[in-house]
């Protein structure tokens, strides 16, 4: 009995394990599927939609769709890139992303994706929402202007830290990440060493006093696009 599942991504034949999601199987084969809310090791969330791929012609999120035998996946096509650009643009205009002074600039996954897709300005008008900052904790700060509601902190706190520091509250445009306390982060059992703090892909949850320690030119995405580490790993001969 076969222990592997065979599928194609942009014409390249790859193999994966039963139960694996498209995103993970692709990654092991050296194919990068862009993503934001996904973080290896956490329960797939399927909220940012940046990993949208066409599965047998239908749009699906690659992080939540299990691979099946003979599945035909399109990932790197002009149509999908255009959709992904739209989604990245939406996340930029929805929040207040001041890259020029953000501690996470250069190491930010949202910014890195925009770089990868060659975005120089969003096509949608900025919304400039009024959000808040929680700097009550001695070592950690939450800047909700930068939050993209990916839920990586929520899941990391629950699944890795065994806590429940963060959770979504509100609905629709009012949705935001709240903390498990009446007032603020300082009143929770969060710790600066929690995985949840590291899990934030943007500058919404940051450690105090360590901002800008890595100089420009040495940051994660200064020289190579996000995803190139995955593409460098596995040689896939496509098409």
Partner 1 sequence: MSEALVTAVKDICQAHECDRTRMMDVVQAVNDKYGYVSSEAMDLIAEQLSTHRVEVESVVSFYAFLSSKPKGKVVIRLCNDVIDRLQGADRVGQAFVEELGINFGETTPDGQLTLETTPCIGQSDQAPAVAINDVIIPNVSSDKAREIVRELRQHMDPARLVKQHGDGNNAHPLVGSMVHNNIRKRGDLLFTPINRGEAVRKALAMSPVEVIRAVKTARLRGRGGAGFPAGMKWEFTRGAPGDRKFVLCNADEGEPGTFKDRVLLTELPDRVFAGITIAGYAIGAEEGIVYLRSEYRYLIAFLESVLEQRRKDGLLGRNILGKEGFNFDIRIQMGAGAYICGEETALISSCEGLRGDPKNRPPFPAQKGYLDCPSVVNNVETLCCVTKILELGPASFNEFGSDRSSGTKLLSISGDCKQPGVYEMPLGVTLREVLEQCGGADAAAVQVGGASGQMVGPKDYDRKICFDDLATGGALMVFGPDRNILKVAHAFMEFFVEESCGYCTPCRVGNRLLMDRLEKIMAGLAEPADLDYLKELGQTVKTCSRCGLGQTSPNPILTTLENFRPVYEAMVKEETQGFQATFDLAQAVAEAEKIAGRTSVHAHA
Partner 2 sequence: MAKPKIATTSLAGCFGCHMSLLDIDERILALAEIVDFDKSPLDDIKTFTGRCAVGLIEGGCAHEENVEVLRDFRKHCDVLISVGDCAISGGIPAMRNMVPLQECLQEAYVDGPSVHNPAGVPPNDPDIPLMLDKVYPAHEVVKIDYHLPGCPPPADMLWEALVALLNNKPLDLPYELVKYD
Q: Which of residues 104-163 bind partner 2 (CB under 8 A)?
A: 105-106, 111, 114-115, 118, 120-121, 125-126, 128-131, 145
In contact, 63 and 37? CB cutoff 8 Å: yes
Q: Give the binding site for partner 1 (CB under 8 A).
A: 44-50, 52, 59, 61, 64-66, 83, 86-87, 90-91, 93-94, 124-125, 127, 148-149, 164, 166-175, 178-182
Alpha-carbon distance of 126 to 95, in angstroms, equals: 8
96 binds, among partner 2, partner 1, none (CB under 5 to 8 A by kind): partner 2
Paired with 16 in beta bridges are 5
Angle at 130 between CA 125 and CA 131, to 5 degrees: 120
Q: Is 3 in the site for partner 2 (CB under 8 A)?
A: no
Q: Is 229 in the site for partner 2 (CB under 8 A)?
A: no
Q: Pick one of partner 2, partner 1, none as the site partner of residue 130 (Cβ within 5 to 8 A by kind).
A: partner 2
168 binds partner 2 (CB under 8 A): no
User: Please, what is the minimum distance in Å from the beta carbon of residue 20 to partner 1?
Assistant: 13
**Piece of 21-29, 58-66, 96-104, 180-188 that binds partner 2 (CB under 8 A):** 96-104
Q: Return the number of other C-beta atoms located less than 10 Å from residue 75's C-beta.
A: 23
Nearer to partner 1, 88 or 195 (CB): 88
Query: Considering the rule CB under 8 A, would residue 213 count as an interface residue with partner 2?
Result: no
Nearest to 189 by CA among 166, 160, 159, 155: 166
Distance separating the N- and C-terminal Cα atoms of the chain: 28
Structure tokens at 154: 């929520």
Binder of residue 179, out of partner 1, partner 2, none (CB less than 5 to 8 A by kind) = partner 1
Least distance to partner 1, CB of residue 65, Å: 7
Are the CB atoms for 204 and 147 separated by under 8 Å?
yes
Q: Are 14 and 29 in contact (CB under 8 A)?
A: yes
Q: Among residues 172 and 215, whose Cβ is nearest to partner 2?
A: 215
Distance CA 211, CA 214 (A): 8
Per-residue interface string for the shown chain with partner 2, residues 4-23, x marking contact by CB under 8 A? --------------------
Instruction: Give me the residue label for tokens 């910014």.
Output: 111
* Strand pairing report for 205-207 and 140-143: antiparallel
- Given the rule CB under 8 A, which residues bind partner 2? 96-102, 105-106, 111, 114-115, 118, 120-121, 125-126, 128-131, 145, 216, 222-225
């Amino acid at each position: 009995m076969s222990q592997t599942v065979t599928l194609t991504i942009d014409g390249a034949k790859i193999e994966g394990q039963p139960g694996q999601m498209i995103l993970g199987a692709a990654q092991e084969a050296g194919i990068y599927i862009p993503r934001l809310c996904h973080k290896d090791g956490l329960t797939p969330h399927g909220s940012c939609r940046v990993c949208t791929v066409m599965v047998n012609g239908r749009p699906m999120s690659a992080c939540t769709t299990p691979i099946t035998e003979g599945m035909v996946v399109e990932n790197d096509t002009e149509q999908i890139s255009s959709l992904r650009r739209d989604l990245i643009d939406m996340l930029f205009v929805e929040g207040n992303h001041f890259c020029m002074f953000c501690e996470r600039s250069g190491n930010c996954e949202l910014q890195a994706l925009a770089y990868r897709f060659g975005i120089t300005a969003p096509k949608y008008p900025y919304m400039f929402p009024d959000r808040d900052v929680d700097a009550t904790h001695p070592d950690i700060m939450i800047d909700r202007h930068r939050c993209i509601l990916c839920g990586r902190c929520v899941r990391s706190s629950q699944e890795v830290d065994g806590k429940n520091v963060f959770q979504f509250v509100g609905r629709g445009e009012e949705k935001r990440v709240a903390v498990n306390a009446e007032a603020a982060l300082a009143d929770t059992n969060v710790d600066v060493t929690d995985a949840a703090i590291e899990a934030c892909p943007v500058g919404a949850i940051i450690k105090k006093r360590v901002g800008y320690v890595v100089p420009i030119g040495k940051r994660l995405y200064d020289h190579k696009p996000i995803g190139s580490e995955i593409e460098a790993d596995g040689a896939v001969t496509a098409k």
